[in-house]
Amino acid sequence: MNRFVLPLAAFALLLVVLLVGLKRAPEKNNLPSPLIGKSAPQFTLPNLFDNTRPLSSEALKGHWSLVNVWGTWCVECRAEHAALLQIKQQARVPIIGIDWKDQDEDALAWLAQLGNPYERVGTDHDGRVAIDWGVYGAPESFLISPAGTVVYKHIGAMTPQVWERDFLPRISATLGRPESPATPASAPVGTGSGA
Amino acid sequence: MRLAGWLGGLALLCAGAMFAGLAGAIDASPPLPDPQLQHRYYELTHELRCMQCQSEALADSSVSLAADLRLQVRELLLAGQSDDQIRDHMVARYGEFILFRPRMTWRNAWLWAAPVLLMGVGLVVGWRVVRGRARLTDSDESGANGEGLDP
């Protein structure tokens, strides 16, 4: 009787370890970003819409923002586009686009055709800024706090579900009640500092 | 017979040519000026992971991100950074996962210690089993001897 206890316990332990591994297998591809909790990487990129006003990381300061890395060559980006437009409609957080390794004409045509969810778009032609942000597969979306800290990263297409489950709670935790737009004094989240 | 030999040789040549093409195609960048730098470049691009095609090294991947990262390794080497500085540079952006040979940290120390611990457990268990058996045979023999001597 007693001699079975230890092997059984060992077997149970192994079972638990393997089950946890199996359960967490789908998360395997969502690698944690080392940038979480750190300040967002500095960058200056050409502005897709206005050559004279480059987009810099200063534009992320002073308000919450959603940084979305995309490209017209990216199939998943097309899939998430409607969700981004919807987030823009709620107008709570400005979306800053980083157009990754793309042609400007293609990007402009894409936005003209599908609608533009972005407040501003920087064009990262050689992919250096994307590397600084640890991007390895578009689309990727980063939530940046008013202090300029990377709060959260989502890899893959943005959906309304992901936005409501993973992003909104993190914003509303500090914003207080985002559900009350009737207070104009603290309302303008987006256009605080138009640098 | 002769023809078969010829054909075989030809096929081998073709196969060789094919693979030579493949090997050259992925990292087509010119070698670094200093052979020592080139050696370090070779080592680093083989021990850094291509994040997009996760079981390939930077050197073996045809993905454009891998090419960008190879270029960055090259530039950092030319800028005089050490291998560790370059590894840190990559880890700061992509996390420990980019290293094929993970470094020992407090978070994964148990993983590194596991083989030694398991070996220790095995040795203790083995030792106890052997000791138990030794005692068994001892008592058996003394018993047998005793019986043999008694009458």
Q: What is the DSSP string of B91-104?
A: HHHH-GGGBSSPPP
Contact predicate A147/A123, CB 8 Å: no
Name which of A34, A128, A136 is nearest B51 (Cβ-Cβ).
A136
Chain B residue numbers with beta carbons less than 8 Å from the beta carbon of A137 are: 51-52
Greater confidence (A30 vs B143) lies with: A30
Q: How many CB atoms lie within 10 A of CB A168?
A: 19
State how many domains chain A has: 1
CB contact under 8 A, B97 and A131: no
With tokens 């979305």, the residue in question is: A68
Tell me: pLDDT of A182 over 60.
no
CB contact under 8 A, A137 and B51: yes
For residue B116, what are its two tokens?
Answer: 């030694």
For residue A193, what are its two tokens?
Answer: 């500092």
Give the residue numbers in B contacting A (CB under 8 Å), as ranges: 51-52, 54, 64-65, 68-69, 72, 91-97
A31 inside domain: no
Parse chain B into domains and list their residue ranges: 1-30, 31-103, 109-145
CB contact under 8 A, B52 and A34: no
For residue B148, what are its two tokens?
Answer: 């043999």
How many Cβ pairs closer than 8 A exist between chain A and B? Answer: 37
Q: Identify the CA nearest to A60 among candidates A118, A143, A153.
A: A143
With bands split at pLDDT 50, 70 and 90, how would you rate the model's confidence at B151?
very low
With bands split at pLDDT 50, 70 and 90, how would you rate the model's confidence at B72?
very high
Chain B residue numbers with beta carbons less than 8 Å from the beta carbon of A127 are: 64-65, 68
End-to-end, the C-alpha distance of chain B in Å comes to 85
Greater confidence (A194 vs B8) lies with: B8
Interface test with B, best of A101, A131, A142, A153 (most B CBs within 10 A): A131
Per-residue model confidence (pLDDT) at position B139: 58
CA distance A174 to A168: 10
In this prediction, residues B9-21 reach a mean pLDDT of: 55
Per-residue model confidence (pLDDT) at position B111: 86
Chain A residue numbers with beta carbons less than 8 Å from the beta carbon of B51 are: 31, 136-137
Per-residue model confidence (pLDDT) at position B9: 63
A4 inside domain: no
Which superfamily does B31-103 belong to?
Cytochrome C biogenesis protein (1.10.8.640)
For chain A, what is the mean pLDDT? 87
Least confident of A86-100, A111-125, A165-179, B38-52: A165-179
Q: How far is CA A187 from CA A85, A88, A96, A97, B124, in A?
A: 20, 15, 19, 23, 67
Tell me: pLDDT of B62 over 90.
no
For chain B, what is the mean pLDDT? 81
Q: Identify the CA nearest to B66 among candidates B83, B45, B88.
A: B45
A28 inside domain: no
Tell me: pLDDT of B36 over 50.
yes
In this prediction, residues A21-35 reach a mean pLDDT of: 82
CA of B11, closest CA in chain A: separation in Å?
39
Chain A residue numbers with beta carbons less than 8 Å from the beta carbon of B94 are: 31, 34, 134, 136
Model pTM score: 0.74
A91 inside domain: yes
Residue ranges making up the domain that contains A52 = 37-175
Give the ipTM of the model, two decimals please. Answer: 0.76
A5 inside domain: no
Interface test with A, best of B61, B63, B72, B93 (most A CBs within 10 A): B93
CB contact under 8 A, B68 and A127: yes
With bands split at pLDDT 50, 70 and 90, how would you rate the model's confidence at B137?
low
In this prediction, residues B17-36 reach a mean pLDDT of: 70
Burial A92-126 (b: 16+ CB within 10 A, else e): bbbbbbbbbbbeeeebbebbeeeebbbbbbbbbee
Reduce the DSSP state of residue A183 to 3 states and report it: coil
pLDDT one-digit tens code per residue, B93-124: 999 889 998 888 888 888 889 999 999 999 99
Give just the sign of the alpha carbon dihedral B39, B43, B48, B52.
positive
Residue A126 maps to which CATH number? 3.40.30.10
Portion of chain A with pLDDT greater than 90, in percent? 71
CB contact under 8 A, B95 and A34: yes
CA distance A121 to A44: 11
CB contact under 8 A, A128 and B68: yes
Tell me: pLDDT of A160 over 60.
yes
Q: Count H helices and E strands in chain A, helices first.
A: 6, 7
Q: Identify the CA nearest to B77 among candidates B87, B91, B68.
A: B87
Chain B residue numbers with beta carbons less than 8 Å from the beta carbon of A29 are: 54
Least confident of A92-101, B55-64, B129-138: B129-138
Q: Identify the CA nearest to A74 among candidates B130, B103, B65, B15.
A: B65
